[in-house]
Amino acid sequence: MVDSLPDRARKGRGAISNTTGRFERQARVAIDDGWERPDEACDLPPLRTHVARDATRTIIARNESPDIPFAQSINPYRGCEHGCVYCYARPSHAYLGLSPGLDFETKLFAKPDAAKLLDAELRRPGYRPMAIALGSNTDPYQPVEREHRITRQVLETLRDFGHPFSIVTKSALVLRDLDIIGPMAARNLAHVFVSVTTLDRDLARAMEPRASTPQRRLDAIRGLAAAGVKVGVMAAPMIPALNDAEMESILEAAAAAGATSAGYTLLRLPLELKELFEEWLAEHVPLKRSHVLSLVRDIRGGALNHAEFGKRFTGEGAYAQLVSKRFRAARARHGLDRNDWSLDLSQFRPPPKAGDQMALF
C-alpha cells in the first residue's frame, strides 16, 4: 500500500490542502514515490494565480434571504486571491469542478463583460432600482483587480446611471476609486464597510494571507471617512477562542479611524470548509484546535454549521449571547450605532446612448 503525502502549508496561501470538490466522482491524492530523501526535503514552490474568463450572461445576482440586508449583488470575480481560510464562499468553487481549497484562491474567474452586462440589465424597461452590493461573495478589491479593473468599470456604470451601491472589502485598494465613491456618497448613493478580522498582523497573515494588513484596512476607513463616505466596520468573522477577544479593540480602532457603524458575524463552516478550517487550525494553532472547534459546536447547536435564517450569522446558545452583548455594548460605547444606511433610489436615470432620439418633453 502506498502512503499519501501529508499536505503542507504554502507561503502566501490560506488553505493547506486542495481536496477534490464534493461533486467529483474521483479524488486525487499525492503519494510518496520513494525518491525524496528526508535530508533533501525543501519548501514547496509558490503557487501562481491563474485567471480565466467567466463568460457569464448576467451580472446581477438576486436573493430573498430574510437575514441579508440587500436583494441585489454583483461579484466581479469567482474565487478570491485573499485566501481567507474561513471564507464561507469557498464551497462555491466545487460547482466549477474545482477544489474549495487551494483552487479557490489560485484558480480565479474574472468577468470582463461585467460593466457591459450591467448597462444592459439596468436599461431593461421593467428594471426597478434597489441598492446593489459589491463584495457579497468574493472581495471586489482582491489583488487581481489592480490589473483587471472590473470593479472600477462596474462603479463607473453605476455612477452613470445614478444607481446606489454598497461595498464590503478588506482591501485598501478601495481608496483607488474614491473619485467615484466620494461624489456618489455625497449624493447618498454609496456606502462602504471594511472588514477587520483581527489587529494582530501575524494572525492576519496566517488567516488571510493576501488581504491588506489590519493597519492598511484602518487606513482605508480613515481615507474613506475623510472623503465624506459613510463607512462601517465588519468585525467578521469572530472565531471563538481565536480572535473574538479582540472585538472591542477592533471597534475602538475603527471608530478612531472614522467609522460610524459596525457589524459582526460568528464563524460558520459549511460543507468542505469544515475540513479546510480544521486543517488550518492543526497547522497554525494546534494547541487551540480542540477548544476552538468545541466552542463553534456550542454556538451551532452541536454541529460546525447551522444554516437556519436568523441564526447562521450570530449563532445561538450562551457563548453566542455573550458575544452579542459584548458587541452591542462596545458599539454603543464607541458611537458605532449610527445605522441609517438607506440610500437614495430616486436619482436612478439611464443615460442616453449614442443614436438615441431625444425626448420631446
Task: Give the model confidence (pLDDT) of 26-37 as tens digits.
Answer: 666 665 556 665
Q: Cα separation of 92 and 137, whole Å?
A: 9
| Sheet of strand 107-110, all strands in order from the earlier edge strand to the far edge | 50-53, 107-110, 77-78
Q: Are 36 and 91 in contact (CB under 8 A)?
A: no
Q: List, in sequence order, the alpha helices (H) in the chain.
A: 102-106, 114-122, 145-148, 150-161, 178-186, 201-207, 214-226, 247-257, 273-284, 289-299, 318-333
pLDDT at 340: 74
For 38-86, the pLDDT digits (tens) are 544 456 677 899 999 998 999 999 988 777 778 899 999 999 999 999 9
For the stretch 320-338, pLDDT in tens is: 999 999 999 999 999 999 8
CA–CA separation, 152 vs 72, rounded Å?
18
Cell numbers at 241, concatenated? 477562542
Could you tell me the three cell numbers for 111?
Answer: 468577468
Average pLDDT over residues 171-195: 98
Q: Is the entire prediction scored with pTM above 0.85?
A: yes
Using the structure block, give the residue that is written with the C-alpha cell 462596545. 330
Q: Given this model, what pLDDT does residue 353 score?
A: 82
Question: Could you read off the pLDDT of 192-235 as tens digits, one per residue?
Answer: 999 999 999 999 999 999 999 999 999 999 999 999 999 999 99
345 neighbors 130 (Cβ within 8 angstroms)? yes
Question: pLDDT tens across 73-113, in order?
Answer: 999 999 999 999 999 999 999 999 999 999 999 999 999 99
Nearest Cα to Cα of residue 305 among 339, 266, 260:
266
pLDDT band at residue 308 using 50, 70 and 90 as cut-offs: confident
Domain 45-333 fold: TIM Barrel (3.20.20)
pLDDT of residue 212: 98
Instruction: Please name the amino acid found at residue 136.
Output: S
C-alpha cell, 56: 457569464
pLDDT of residue 238: 97
Buried b (16+ CB within 10 A) or exposed e, 161-193: bbbbbbbbbbbbbbbbbbebbbebbeebbbbbb
Residue 360 has pLDDT above 60, yes or no: no
Domain locations in the chain as residue ranges: 45-333
Q: Any idea which residue has 460546525 for its cell?
A: 304
Closest to 84 measured CA to CA, from 205, 194, 172: 205
User: Could you tell me what percentage of the chain is helix, strand and coil, using 3-state DSSP and rounding each to the nearest 5?
Assistant: 35, 15, 50
- The dihedral region occupied by 21, where left means phi > 0, alpha psi between -120 and 50, and beta the remainder, is beta
* Residue 163 backbone class (left: φ over 0; alpha: ψ -120 to 50; beta: rest): beta
Residue percentage of the chain with pLDDT more than 70? 90
Short-list 194, 195, 197, 200, CA closest to 223: 194
Over residues 250-263, the mean pLDDT reads 97
pLDDT for res 314: 84
Rounded CA separation 126/261 (Å):
34
> Is the pLDDT confidence value at 361 over 60?
no
Cell 449571547 sits on residue: 321
